[in-house]
Amino acid sequence: MSISGNLAMGLLRAFHPGKGSFSDLGKLKEKARRENEGFRFSFPKNRRAEYRLLPGTQRECLIIDPVKRKNTDKAILYIYGGVTNNWKLQRPMAVNFALRTGTEVWYPVYPAMSEVPVGQTVRYLTEIYRRMTETHDPAKIVICGVSMGGMFALQIIHAVNRFCPGLPMPGLVLAHSPGGWPEDEEGWDLYRAYEKRDPMFSEGDLRMTLNMTPAGESSGDRWLYPAQGDFRNAPPTYLYYGEEMLAGNATLYQKAYAESGAGDRIRIRITKNMMHGYSCLPVFPESRRSYSETIRLIESL
């Protein structure tokens, strides 16, 4: 392991930011409410790209167009993570991804998981993807998501299969530490296997976060549960995890892809001694390797 990566993991384990802090559901919901109400859209200031908004959407969808664009035939749907409207914190990551890949990036501000039923958010993001197919060849579209955004990226495939007959699949899915929850204690055992190695999350944190979703998630299509995903006709899909509790999802996604007849379409990377979301921030040799792989995958599409 690299010195810088080892140092970062050591600091995280020493201070374990956030781990065990999800103990008061009322306070968590109030915090989420304040963050969601404090939403105010603004454009980036990075002059290496041009910015515009997609017209006719319920929420803002930022289109990032690098000045030095090299992949003129491709486009990326970039979905940030989290359970609140923390789009602004992760916006630089989307801009950086556009600049590094030389590809147009669509960055939708979606309804927060703590604000509306997850199915509503998935349908909104699927509609953004459909809008992309109006101007881009679907085979040249990449859906990329981080954490909960990674779960949404995968659930767009499910939504296309269930609700959008005739809508073509994208060419590639890239998911960094994609979220989701198990359906039973056997599934939770997959998560617990990583709990001691995870400096950021505990089992209690993940269970409490699940309770932050609006009522009614257990009915209809259960978007939060990887094992129930319908991944028929899925494009090549790459999942990147550190040694984190959410890596317990890897087995669930692998099984769901296999049961959908797409087992040969999914590739999973679990990097030892790395943290949640490491692969979307190219700051360590380990994260740069995974990040560079995603760029190569996009360029080869």
**CATH value at residue 240:** 3.40.50.1820
Cα(137)–Cα(170) distance, rounded to whole angstroms?
A: 9
Helix (H) or strand (E) holding 269, with range, is strand 266-270
pLDDT at 126 over 80: yes
Quick one: three-class SS letters along 3-43?
HHHHHHHHHHHHHCCCCCCCCCHHHHHHHHHHHHHCCCCCC
Identify whether the C-beta of residue 257 lies closer than 8 Å to the C-beta of residue 158.
no
> Is there a contact between 80 and 123 (Cβ–Cβ < 8 Å)?
no
Which of 13-17, 67-71, 194-198 has the lowest average pLDDT?
A: 13-17
Would you say residue 216 has pLDDT above 70?
no
pLDDT at residue number 220 = 47
What is the pLDDT averaged over residues 162-186?
A: 94
pLDDT at site 32: 78
* Mean per-residue pLDDT, 239-244: 96
Res. 205: pLDDT tops 60: yes
DSSP-derived letter for residue 150 is H
Total number of domains constituting the chain: 1
Give percent of the chain above pLDDT 70: 90
So what's the pLDDT on residue 219?
Answer: 46
* Percent of the chain at pLDDT exceeding 90: 64
* pTM, entire model: 0.93
Parent domain of 107: 3-300
pLDDT at position 30 is 81
Specify the pLDDT at position 199: 87
Per-residue pLDDT tens over the stretch 275-290 = 999 999 888 888 999 9
Q: Residue 4: is its pLDDT beyond 70?
A: no
Angle at 176 between CA 174 and CA 177, to 5 degrees: 135
Task: Report which of 173, 151, 118, 172 is spatially closest to residue 250, judged by C-alpha positions.
Answer: 151
**φ, ψ dihedrals at 189, nearest 5°:** -60, -35
Which one has a higher pLDDT value, 39 or 92?
A: 92
Lowest mean pLDDT among 135-149, 163-177, 221-235: 221-235
Under the banding of pLDDT at 50, 70 and 90, the label for residue 38 is: confident
Query: What is the mean predicted confidence (pLDDT) over 195-223?
Result: 77
Nearest to 252 by CA among 212, 171, 200, 193: 193
Look over the chain and give the mean of its residue pLDDT values, rounded to a whole number.
Answer: 89
Cα distance between residue 174 and residue 91, in whole Å: 17
